[in-house]
Amino acid sequence: MIQSFYPPQRTLMGPGPSDVSPRVLAALSRPTIGHLDPQFITLMDEIKELLQYAFKTRNELTLPVSAPGSAGMEAVFTNLLEPGDKIIVCQNGVFGGRMKENVERCGATAVMVQDDWGKPVDPQKLEHALRANPDAMAVAFVHAETSTGVRSDARHLCALAHEFDCLVIVDAVTSLAGIELRVDDWGIDAIYSGTQKCLSCVPGLSPVSFSERAVQRISQRRQRVQSWFLDMNLIMDYWGGDARRSYHHTAPVNALYALHESLVMVQEEGLEAAWARHQHHHDALAAGFSAMGLGLVVDAQARLPQLNAVEIPAGIDEALVRRQLLQAWNLEIGAGLGSLAGKVWRVGLMGHAANQTNVLLCLSALGSTLQSMGAAVKPEAAIEAAQEIYAA
């Protein structure tokens, strides 16, 4: 007979999900109420306000899609694009490629701006594509590329797109609450994220936000949105601002309790303080990797603090290392994707997991594991280098 499942206690330092705060886990266990209960509607309004704070936006259409970040991506593209549209998509990793997939499945054309994996999107390449395609209606790019750990200059890319009267679509799955992100100030028209990264909530929800310009485009579509479930024209009536909300779907009530709690924690810490915390612990982790003898793929000025692509030493079985870390240390790190598969580990430092204890655990565990496999690394030097950052 199958019995109840009790998962092991892991330290999650991969590309996601990240460690979830006990406060958030406790919120999940609160009594379930109806998704049209007046008390739940009050909660929805608070979630919307808290997401506006996290995104730094006043967009009225700001809400969590009842599905993971990939559905948030699809919600953005299926609502804004129609067959025959042309959009410029910047790709410097796996998730720019997924944008392209969404564009094509909407019947639109994707003009690709390609950059090397591990490098930020090149603004000059984007400007060239904009000049060569004056009929493009939007620009899409990944702010924080989870497959490589690189940050692109969102402010600059948004400004370029607006010079050519294009809407701006941004993937912020890994950036929200981890690095500076200012939707209104930068002129982002549509953005999507995930709850399982720097928000340290459980997986399964995707915060999105649409500007007034984007909402106007949605409301003036020539054809219906191809997805009924993700049609913002319908969802707006459920997440609207009054108590007479129309039934759209049964919201994941307890998961939204968890999101609310995680956003309350972001508000308590302060968004800028959260950004600074991620950077501080990244500085210690990066110093440790360097002292140990491990390189990072991304140049320092473009690195994400919350996602580190670490080069694998020659002759090391990267999958065996990850397996040993999981079995001996209950520590999860991630494998490389795409062209970086087998060449890097992806070490996350997100949300609740971005703390000194985890940094020192990761350096110690990875260093000793590699040393036992014959790699020429220096675990003691790594710990010393990280502690110097913390002592400064």
Domain ranges for the chain:
22-268, 271-391
85, burial (CB in 10 Å: exposed 0-12, middle 13-18, buried 19+): middle
Q: What is the mean pLDDT of the chain?
A: 96
Q: Answer yes or no: is pLDDT of 341 > 60.
A: yes
Contact status, residue 370 vs residue 316, Cβ threshold 8 Å: yes
Q: How far apart are CA 97 and CA 258, in angstroms?
A: 31
Q: How confident is the model at residue 282 (pLDDT cuts 50, 70, 90)?
A: very high
**For the residues of 264-312, what is the DSSP string, one character each?**
HHHHHH-HHHHHHHHHHHHHHHHHHHHHHT--BSS-GGGBBTTEEEEEP
The pTM for the full model equals 0.97
Q: Report residue 106 CA to chain centroid gap.
A: 23
What percentage of the chain has pLDDT greater than the value 70?
A: 99
So what's the pLDDT on residue 102?
98
Q: How confident is the model at residue 266 (pLDDT cuts 50, 70, 90)?
A: very high
What is the 8-class DSSP label of residue 313? P
Q: Answer yes or no: is pLDDT of 381 > 70.
A: yes
Q: Is the preceding omega at residue 17 within 30 degrees of 0, hence cis?
A: yes
Kindly report the backbone phi and psi dihedral angles of residue 132, in degrees, each rounded to the nearest multiple of 5, phi listed first.
-80, -15
314, burial (CB in 10 Å: exposed 0-12, middle 13-18, buried 19+): exposed
Strands 150-151 and 144-145: antiparallel
So what's the pLDDT on residue 144?
98
Encoded tokens for 300: 């320092």
Q: How confident is the model at residue 62 (pLDDT cuts 50, 70, 90)?
A: very high
What percentage of the chain has pLDDT greater than the value 90?
A: 95
Class level of CATH domain 22-268: alpha beta
So what's the pLDDT on residue 221?
95
CA neighbours closer than 13 Å in the CB half-sphere of residue 278: 29
Q: How confident is the model at residue 241 (pLDDT cuts 50, 70, 90)?
A: low
Mean pLDDT of all residues in 334-350: 96
The architecture in CATH of the region 271-391 reads: Alpha-Beta Complex (3.90)
Encoded tokens for 302: 């473009």
Q: Answer yes or no: is pLDDT of 243 > 60.
A: no
Contact status, residue 316 vs residue 373, Cβ threshold 8 Å: yes
325, burial (CB in 10 Å: exposed 0-12, middle 13-18, buried 19+): buried
Which comes out higher in pLDDT, residue 68 or 244?
A: 68
Mean pLDDT of all residues in 154-175: 98
- Cα dihedral value 321, 322, 325, 330, nearest 10: -170
Q: Report residue 24 CA to chain centroid gap.
A: 18
Q: Answer yes or no: is pLDDT of 93 > 90.
A: yes
The reply to whether domains 22-268 and 271-391 share a CATH topology is no
Nearest Cα to 285, choosing from 364, 202, 372? 364
Nearest Cα to 214, choosing from 229, 228, 232, 240? 232
Q: What is the pLDDT of residues 185-239, one digit of tens each?
A: 999 999 999 999 999 999 999 999 999 999 999 999 999 999 999 999 999 888 8
Q: How confident is the model at residue 354 (pLDDT cuts 50, 70, 90)?
A: very high
Q: What Rg, from alpha-carbon coordinates, does the chain have?
A: 21
So what's the pLDDT on residue 237?
84
